[in-house]
Structure 1
Amino acid sequence: MKEYIITKKGSVVQTSSKRLLALASVVLFAAILLASIAPTASADPDWWNDNWQYRKMVTIDHTKVLDVGDPSTTYANFPVLVNATGLSNIKADGVDIRFTDSSGNQLPREIEYYSGGTLYAWVNVTLTKDAGDSTDDVLYMYYGNSDATEPAVDSTYGSENVWDANYMMVQHLGGTPAGYGGTHYDSTSNDNDGTARGGVTTDATGQIDGADDFDGSDDFVDCGGNTSLNIGATGQSYSVEAWFKTTRKDLQSISEKWQCPNPYPYCLRGEASGTVMFALYDGTNDPNVHGSQDCADDQWHQVVGVRDASTDTIRIYVDGSLNEETTDTTSGSLQNTADLLIGRRFADQQSFAFYGAIDEFRISASARSADWINTSYNNQNSPSTFCGFGGEEQKPCGSCQRWYLSSTAAGDGSYKMWKGDETKPAGTVTVGDEGEQIWLADETAAGNISFPADTWTGRITFDASSSDTTVRVWVGEWNGSTFTPSAAGENATIGGSGDFSISAGEFGVSNGEWLAFRIQDHDADGNSSVVSVGLNSSHLTSGGTDPAYPIPELPAMILFSVGLLVLTGYFWLRWKN
């Protein structure tokens, strides 16, 4: 069979199927060669920041968000309470915790409390899904960065920006400072800090983290009278809200800015019937609304008082539900010069002193809608069902590999570490005082392998029984009797359970030998270190230039071999033709 091709100069020449096959072989060889030397893909582009080693997906249950026409408008800049327990791999104070939306955009967050794996955090989220939808909003919580520091409070993603301009004051009353008295810091940028007076117990158990406990006598919190708290101007809308718990049925002030006989913008009180009330006063008229349930039951309740100037209405909500509304008959300004107090009516009189606990007190310069209030209640009443957590995800590492430490003996007194297998049973390995333990890769090198200089990372978790939690770690080669660390003997010191990184120099693992990891208890304090192993408790991760241990550059070798065969075939065809 004869075939023809046209040259660049336009001449027609006879060719053959063999020559076309040869030409195709050259093209194929070039493609294969390029593929064999092309760099391997790095970390997952969906990962927000490579400096953070872990994340969890946070799912906001859309059925807990009231159905509205446009949730992204109704619930813009909504402060979502995120509560979780049993967390790990986070810095002791939680400063490395960050949140993003599902597209990887960072969100402002405030860590109200983090300790021992328990988190209470507030995240500024614009909700886009509600009960009328069939899907949920999704966030991601990133953590595991030993170099992270707390963002400045006024920075773009700092704690103050969780609370938009509608919030005049946010007092978490969350157990800081512990004990009695001290300053209560406003979470907004308005700096309406409060001072605990009398003997307020500031670290009582709250609805959300901690709370303030008042003795019904001389305890109260004075939040001052800064301009931003001087609410009640003519035509101004605002909302006042708090969580409270009491057993007393009596007139008692949850919060007031009271200056009778002068006007006052609000009082929020318990009543003799155990209900609660919200009232305003202009010097003559005092419209008021009342809750419909007995709240003096030693249980936590949320109360919200709303002045809606757009409809000349005041309303009271208890536990997310509207209880009563009435016409706002006041006229003119309700502003005064009194301090805003929590737990009492007057600073210099023990009148209407509150008996019980108060938590999460807020003032907003807007009339919060019924949808907003109900969704806030759903979130704060049961944060663990409002937000669900997925499993822990580790940062993708491109061509790197991860070995999980185990308590499986490897011979020579060492232990095995398993590549990509985090299913081995949980256990412990003791590193004696000034002693060391070696972990070997589960396979020996299938050729002479060279590891370029790179950063190795990982995590060490200490068992609760460990009397020493400071160790030093290395990566290197084990030849059956001797451990040889990376080029310059680089190592990292770990104090307490957490992540580490080793800036390792170039090193090699000879054919038939092992990649190895060494942990040393280097301080002579008479105490041993007990390392938790198995599952996902402790592990070692190679850098992004990992040469595919235990087989050196296997993909490249295969591709090169195929390419060599194709090239040989090409010359054979040329010779035959």
Structure 2
Amino acid sequence: MRKNWIKKSLICGIIILMVGASVVSAIYRNPSINSTPMNQGNWLYVGESGPGNDTNQTRSDWQIRRGNNSAGRGSLDTEHHNVKAIIEERPSGNITISNPYPTNGSLDISVEPQCNITVNHSDGCGMTVSWYENSTGSWVQRQTNGSTHWYHADWSYRKLITIDHTKIPSTLINFPVLVSLATDANLAADAQNDGDDICFVKYSDNTTKLNHEIEWFNGTSGNLYAWVNVTSVSSISDTKIWMYYGNSVCDSQQNTNGVWDSHFGAVWHMQEIDAVDSTSNGNTGSDTGAPLIAAGVVNNSVDFVPTDYISVGTGASIDTADDNTVTWECWINGDSNAGDQVFLEQSQGSNSWNVVLGTYDADVATNAIKWITRDDDGTGRDTVTSEVSITTGSWMHVAGTYNNGTSDNKSIYVNGVLKAYTTAGINNLRSGPTTATHIGYGGDFGPYDGKIDEVRMSSNVRNASWINATYQTIATPSTFFSTGGEQSLIINGTYRWIFTQASASATMYYWKVAVNDTYHTSTAIYHFTTAPEPNQPPYAPSNPTPPNGAMNVNITSDIHWTGGDPDPGDTVTYDVYFGESSSPPKLVSNQSGLSYDPGTLAYNTLYHWRIVAWDVHSASSAGPLWYFKTVYIPNRPPYAPCNPSPANGSTEVSMNVDLCWSGGDPDSGDWVTYDIYFGISFPLTKIASNTSGTSHALDHLLYDTKYYWKIVSWDNHGASNMSPLWSFTTQTDSTGPIVKITSPIKGFLYINFWDIITRKIPIFITTFVVGKIEVTATATDSESGVSRVEFYIDNELKANDTSAPYSWIWLEREFFFPCTLKVIAYDNAGNQNSSELKVWKIF
């Protein structure tokens, strides 16, 4: 941007000449005396002149400032003056918007398209491009690119850094803020690989570059640790600064020494073993032992064991001899929380400390962190203890201040918080000479074990706000400041915006761009229609039932799955592949349901299945190959006994019969036994148990009797089954018993006188009985058995007997007449037989 200074001495006024631009002149008067410098006094607004309205003011002298688009500033100084004119040259060129994409009225545009436009300003001015969309029925601004207020056109990008004022206890001047970014894709893509083009600029004027030091930058990830001297950090309102980058040809923009104000005697970031001093005082150290570089609270740190230390000399900027004010601070990460450790120390002779930060416990016997000084009052060491011990493995900020001034004070801070102080016995620190300053060592006392980072020594007393903000800018950078999105410098060219709100298919959308150069705005409105939503294949079938790999699945199980389609309105059908093979056959095509009944499956069998989903557009999605295994064959009870013999309901069954039946078990390998129940009344009697055969012999059954029977089968697993109740009736008895008179018998004489004289004499002719006689008979029946035997004399019943031996005492007297003795035997079926004998009975 050109700067155009007009110098003109006038007696009565000022003449403003402009070529090819619009000019506005603001006229001010300074009533101070003529010798008042131009930058002093009270300037009073007089009036304004614009295009076509040049103003002549009767003033002795004018200061004219002229610039194009606020890029030029200057002054016109005459011998005597008390009037000035501030003149702004405004761009008069045209803004054109062209090459839109999507083109106006275009069809079949993909959803959420990238919208492009080309902008051109005939004067080449910086511009802003604002993007709007009207998807909801009203215009909504979605994005703005660029700025008309830019630090320098050679830098293409910037981000706004906002420092949270609530983190600042009181306003700080020339405070070093840590800009810490773990990763930043924009920096990685657009900054120089070594970060030389990164610079920081005041937000208020977008002109003043702030001093900064880059402690570390990784051009691949955008990881940045940069210290920025912010000239004023407010505790009342957020402080803003710009971070500019994207200049591929510039040299480094750093001013490392300028970051640290004149009170800093030394600043060691501990990036290197030798502790390089970032101030201009050059207090770079040298190491003893073998300290190592380790991860720090800010990038690197130095890791010490008790035999390691770094000597940083006794330069004037860090020599505390005879000083009245001092601030020391550092970050520690201890491997031990023991007492008698020293982080920083300055001594005057061997083991004669002047200033110490550490846990040295010879004076105050605790392992708390302490601030130890020795002043000129002639006494020993003066100690202020924080009552806070080292938390091993954690980073801690430790600071000590010493003030022998109008307000005597010696204080110790831990993690930004005041922990202890004293106002008693404070004088100037002990006079020299100072002989050594060490990081991580205290002579024969106080060897330190752990890491140290960000060590600083100041010649003044840093106040509590400074120390607290120092802690927070390092410990919690994510809350100490925030980083805005990347902004681009808009000059003539093509710019883009993603229209994320254009998310529906087959829908008309409107978009608008407004390009502004501060004084002029050009607007263009476009519309497009998104393409119909492309068909999406159906969802791949999922969530199988039985679950994939399931075991012991019931043989009557159906298979189920979930499906569907992401496109509303699409219907889905399914092909079912099912079988024992790992390439199962297709059993069903184009079914609409989400289940299938494969019928009764085989026991202990591995089945494979797959479902293929089809939509109405012939797009398909196949589910994975699933499998399951059915249960092992469960024990089944033995067959119910059947096929009885004699057949159920049989008659005329023999008295000696075999009961027979059919049995067995459906499960191969099972064996079966049988219990036999039999009888003519209930409950039936178990007449045999655990017989393995399917027959049982019976004999001597009763004639013409109905018998009942049943069989219970048992397998070797304890399962049983029972036959129906069967019956049969035995045969009818049609043969009478065999009967025979055994006494008297033919051909004998029987004599019995009063049981005194008894004789049986053969006479061979007939049978004679004298006196009484016991008539006996035998009767047998092999079928139904003998029921009774009856005794008759001449067909007159005289007696009966129901049990063998069958007999009757014949006492009746006869008078030598022949009688017919008859015995009739009856069986249980009612059949009878008889035997007769002719007998002569006397007396």
TM-score category of the 2 structures, normalised to the smaller one: 0.5 to 0.7
1:188-236 Cα distance to aligned partner (Å, 9 max, x none): 000000112211012x1111111010012x21111011122212325x2
**Distance in 1, Cα, partners of 2:381 & 2:426:** 7
Task: Confirm or deny that 1:372 pairs with 2:466.
Answer: yes
1:27-75 Cα distance to aligned partner (Å, 9 max, x none): 9xxxxx9869993451244111111111111010111111x3xx2xxx1
Superposition pairs for residues 28-43 of structure 1, below 5 Å? Answer: 39-40=122-123, 42-43=125-126
The structure whose RCO (Cα within 8 Å, separation 6+) is larger is: 1
User: Structure 1 residue 264: deviation in Å?
Assistant: 4.3
Distance 1:77 1:296, change over 3 A: same
- Which residue does 1:144 correspond to in 2? 246
Equivalent of 2:302 in 203, 209, 212: 212
1:348-367 Cα distance to aligned partner (Å, 9 max, x none): x5x31110000100000101
Distance 1:40 1:364, change over 3 A: same
**Distance in 2, Cα, partners of 1:52 & 1:239:** 39
Equivalent of 2:383 in 282, 285, 288: 288
Distance 1:330 1:147, change over 3 A: same
Distance 1:327 1:227, change over 3 A: same
Over the matched positions of the two proteins, sequence identity in percent amounts to: 30
Q: As a proportion of its length, which structure holds more strand?
A: 2
**Distance in 2, Cα, partners of 1:381 & 1:47:** 32
Superposition pairs for residues 444-459 of structure 1, below 5 Å? Answer: none
**Distance in 2, Cα, partners of 1:300 & 1:36:** 56
- Which residue does 1:194 correspond to in 2? 285
- Which residue does 1:253 correspond to in 2? 342
**Distance in 2, Cα, partners of 1:123 & 1:49:** 19
Task: Confirm or deny that 1:241 pairs with 2:338.
Answer: no
Superposition pairs for residues 482-561 of structure 1, below 5 Å? Answer: none
User: Structure 1 residue 247: deviation in Å?
Assistant: 3.4
**Distance in 1, Cα, partners of 2:341 & 2:352:** 19
**Distance in 1, Cα, partners of 2:454 & 2:446:** 20
- Which residue does 1:270 correspond to in 2? 359
- Which residue does 2:395 correspond to in 1? 300
Alignment length, in residue pairs? 349
- Which residue does 2:482 correspond to in 1? 388
**Distance in 2, Cα, partners of 1:205 & 1:368:** 27
User: Structure 1 residue 312: deviation in Å?
Assistant: 2.2
Contact 2:94 2:123 in 1 (8 A): no
The 3-state SS of whatever aligns with 1:63 is helix
Contact 1:95 1:148 in 2 (8 A): yes
Task: Confirm or deny that 1:83 pairs with 2:171.
Answer: no
**Distance in 1, Cα, partners of 2:402 & 2:497:** 59
Distance 1:219 1:356, change over 3 A: same
Opposite residue 493 of structure 2, the aligned amino acid is C
Distance 1:247 1:271, change over 3 A: farther
Distance 1:62 1:326, change over 3 A: same
- Which residue does 2:162 correspond to in 1? 59
The 3-state SS of whatever aligns with 1:126 is strand
Opposite residue 233 of structure 1, the aligned amino acid is D
**Distance in 2, Cα, partners of 1:207 & 1:386:** 15
Opposite residue 125 of structure 2, the aligned amino acid is S
User: Structure 1 residue 276: deviation in Å?
Assistant: 0.6
- Which residue does 2:198 correspond to in 1? 97
User: Structure 1 residue 161: deviation in Å?
Assistant: 0.2
Alpha-carbon RMSD: 2.5
1:280-335 Cα distance to aligned partner (Å, 9 max, x none): 11352422101122223321111101001222221101111111111352545523
Contact 1:99 1:107 in 2 (8 A): yes
1:436-466 Cα distance to aligned partner (Å, 9 max, x none): xxxxxxxxxxxxxxxxxxxxxxxxxxxxxxx
**Distance in 2, Cα, partners of 1:114 & 1:34:** 42
Distance 1:247 1:275, change over 3 A: farther
Contact 1:285 1:330 in 2 (8 A): no
Equivalent of 1:129 in 225, 229, 234: 234
**Distance in 2, Cα, partners of 1:34 & 1:211:** 56
User: Structure 1 residue 377: deviation in Å?
Assistant: 1.2
Q: As a proportion of its length, which structure holds more helix?
A: 1
The 3-state SS of whatever aligns with 1:238 is strand
- Which residue does 2:415 correspond to in 1? 319
Contact 2:329 2:456 in 1 (8 A): yes
1:471-521 Cα distance to aligned partner (Å, 9 max, x none): xxxxxxxxxxxxxxxxxxxxxxxxxxxxxxxxxxxxxxxxxxxxxxxxxxx
**Distance in 2, Cα, partners of 1:250 & 1:286:** 16
**Distance in 1, Cα, partners of 2:429 & 2:482:** 45
Contact 2:404 2:428 in 1 (8 A): no
Distance 1:313 1:36, change over 3 A: closer
Contact 2:331 2:396 in 1 (8 A): yes
**Distance in 2, Cα, partners of 1:326 & 1:93:** 47
User: Structure 1 residue 337: deviation in Å?
Assistant: 2.4
**Distance in 2, Cα, partners of 1:364 & 1:333:** 15
**Distance in 2, Cα, partners of 1:278 & 1:241:** 10
* Bigger-Rg structure (1/2): 2
Contact 1:242 1:361 in 2 (8 A): yes
- Which residue does 2:316 correspond to in 1? 227
Contact 2:374 2:429 in 1 (8 A): no
- Which residue does 1:414 correspond to in 2? none
User: Structure 1 residue 341: deviation in Å?
Assistant: 0.4
**Distance in 2, Cα, partners of 1:127 & 1:161:** 15
Opposite residue 325 of structure 2, the aligned amino acid is S
**Distance in 1, Cα, partners of 2:197 & 2:94:** 39
**Distance in 1, Cα, partners of 2:396 & 2:325:** 23
The 3-state SS of whatever aligns with 2:247 is coil
Contact 1:109 1:123 in 2 (8 A): yes
- Which residue does 1:109 correspond to in 2? 212
Contact 1:287 1:328 in 2 (8 A): no
- Which residue does 2:434 correspond to in 1? 337
**Distance in 2, Cα, partners of 1:197 & 1:295:** 24
TM-score (norm 2): 0.40
**Distance in 1, Cα, partners of 2:197 & 2:497:** 27
**Distance in 2, Cα, partners of 1:86 & 1:261:** 47
Distance 1:189 1:112, change over 3 A: same
The 3-state SS of whatever aligns with 2:469 is helix
Contact 1:219 1:343 in 2 (8 A): yes
- Which residue does 2:265 correspond to in 1? 168
1:97-125 Cα distance to aligned partner (Å, 9 max, x none): 10011121210000000013100000000
Contact 2:161 2:482 in 1 (8 A): yes
The 3-state SS of whatever aligns with 1:340 is strand
Distance 1:98 1:231, change over 3 A: same
Opposite residue 159 of structure 1, the aligned amino acid is T
Opposite residue 291 of structure 1, the aligned amino acid is S
TM-score (norm 1): 0.57
Contact 2:373 2:429 in 1 (8 A): no
**Distance in 2, Cα, partners of 1:362 & 1:394:** 37
User: Structure 1 residue 170: deviation in Å?
Assistant: 0.2
User: Structure 1 residue 184: deviation in Å?
Assistant: 2.2
Distance 1:226 1:46, change over 3 A: same
**Distance in 2, Cα, partners of 1:110 & 1:185:** 13
Distance 1:35 1:357, change over 3 A: closer
